[in-house]
Chain A
């Protein structure tokens, strides 16, 4: 080969290697394949408690096929006592890929370790340390509850004794906005989850609902009817400076943000049944995102921006579908039975949705489902931190 070709080959080899390779192994994991992982357990006085949670996390993560050590590409293990977990991941050759100490209660440290294992071995976010919130009418009124992603640590967040609905967690999980009828009207409230302080932040005339935080947590999109028609608006995260984005004769609702907060997908029935539309968050450029279903609502954009999850009406009930925003290809991902209100996890791999009587964690590539909330009566409208 001549000098030019050698040079090209040289550049290709060195530029083609991801910069991340310095910290992480250069494996490419297709979402449908499993990484063969052995879990050697967690020793120490807190070992059993941590092990149990971690084993469940690793199973739910979806990335891993848990195998005996002899077949594994990687092995995870740890020691836990006195509120501290030392976690370790080694490869088949015994090279340490991850060695870290975590502090907190057994559930917390197990979740943190799981998320680092996922990040180290796949490059994706783990979901085990995330929080969920949802609506339950268990008390006789619709109230907002929070929980860990696996359904543990359920806490009743509101005691409004009215109708409290449409919760949305900020991506960092520190704030929750929701709709409540405390005044007799639908207004949006903001709860600081650290201090517990609550403020009414959006209370224009008419109906204020459907709040959704931008990916950086600094803006809120929602539906307001104050100008005489329900439209999508963007406000700052304290509820001020409303900017109207849509202007049609029909119903506009349920905005969801794309990566970087550049675009919004929302629902409009301007052409008949409710459908998805995509537009710039600065205004303009609205274009339908067809799904092939006559009734498409409750969109939620995946963090990686590739797909929108939504509820579609089919066969007399609802199913959860994903829509590829580039190709428009739509497929139902929920198993048979009513499925609504989907929300993506930070790994853009899992979806949490409601059946009406339970919240289901769905691993989209494998189709595996796990009930995470099942004993709180009617549950709906889950939201998920990142």
Chain B
């Protein structure tokens, strides 16, 4: 029975992954054709403030984004896949925090950061992770990973970070 379950899970995983790879071939800009309606967020967990010590940060590489884009590229999906794998082995909920570089205006960047977090969440859902396990938050252009200017710094700031809720 256990083997069947494993096989089923593997099939779901593979098909989900293959599905994602196929979809992303069609993506060219930040405006995607995949998801017309997002998956609603579930109630927030207590003790899930991203920058509190109740959330373990830095365990996974952030997902990085192109300028003014929320597309999760093929390359970044590999990273997301590793996160999905790890989540299968733990019961914790997670929170994804979206950020932008500091070009652009404040409120739009707050919302773009949220969209990035939601895009990564959707990719995890596509890989079989339960939607109810994933919270999102956006900090817009606050708290850059690299406070400098220029393409290299900006690229490090356009990100979604993973936090594991203790």
A residues contacting B by CB (< 8 A) are 142, 163, 165-166, 179, 181, 183-186, 204-207, 209-210, 223, 225-230, 247, 249-254, 267, 269-274, 295, 297-298, 311, 313, 318, 340-341, 380-381
Contacts and interface: CB of A to CB of B under 8 A. Distances in A.
Given A250-B31, A297-B105, A341-B105, A230 B139 contact: no
Contacts of B38: 225, 227-229
Given A165-B106, A209-B110, A272-B29, A184 B51 contact: yes
B52 to A, nearest CB: 6
A354 to B, nearest CB: 9
A227 B37 contact: yes
Interface string B34-53: 11111111111000111110
A273 B138 CA distance: 19
B111 interface: yes
A155 B66 CA distance: 40
Closest 3 CB pairs of A and B: A228-B38, A184-B49, A205-B41
Contact of B30 (A209, A250, A267, A295): A250
A207 B37 contact: no
Contacts of A166: 106-107, 110
A270 B31 contact: yes
Contacts of A226: 40-41
Nearest to A272: B29
Contacts of A318: 105
Contacts of B33: 249
Contacts, number: 139
Contacts of A253: 107-108, 110-111
B93 interface: no
8 contacts: A206-B114, A223-B107, A228-B37, A228-B122, A251-B70, A251-B115, A269-B68, A272-B31
A230 B68 contact: no
Contacts of A273: 68
Nearest to B68: A273
B135 interface: yes
Contacts of A271: 31
A278 to B, nearest CB: 17
B61 interface: no
Contacts of A270: 31
Interface in B1-49: 29-44, 48-49
Given A166-B110, A252-B111, 15 more contacts: A185-B49, A186-B114, A205-B42, A206-B137, A207-B110, A207-B137, A209-B110, A225-B41, A228-B41, A228-B118, A250-B115, A253-B107, A254-B111, A269-B68, A298-B105
Interface residues of B, number: 41
Nearest to B112: A251
A110 B52 CA distance: 49
B111 A251 contact: yes
A229 B106 contact: no
A274 B30 CA distance: 11
Contacts of B41: 204-206, 225-228
A144 B1 CA distance: 59
Nearest to A267: B108
B147 interface: no
B40 A210 contact: no
A121 to B, nearest CB: 37
Contact of A297 (B36, B37, B107, B136): B107
A373 B52 CA distance: 34
Given A225-B118, A247-B37, A298 B107 contact: yes
Contacts of B68: 269, 273-274, 295
Interface string B84-128: 000000000000000000001111101110110010001000000
A315 to B, nearest CB: 13
Contacts of B30: 250, 269, 272
Given A228-B40, A250-B30, A297 B137 contact: no
B74 interface: no
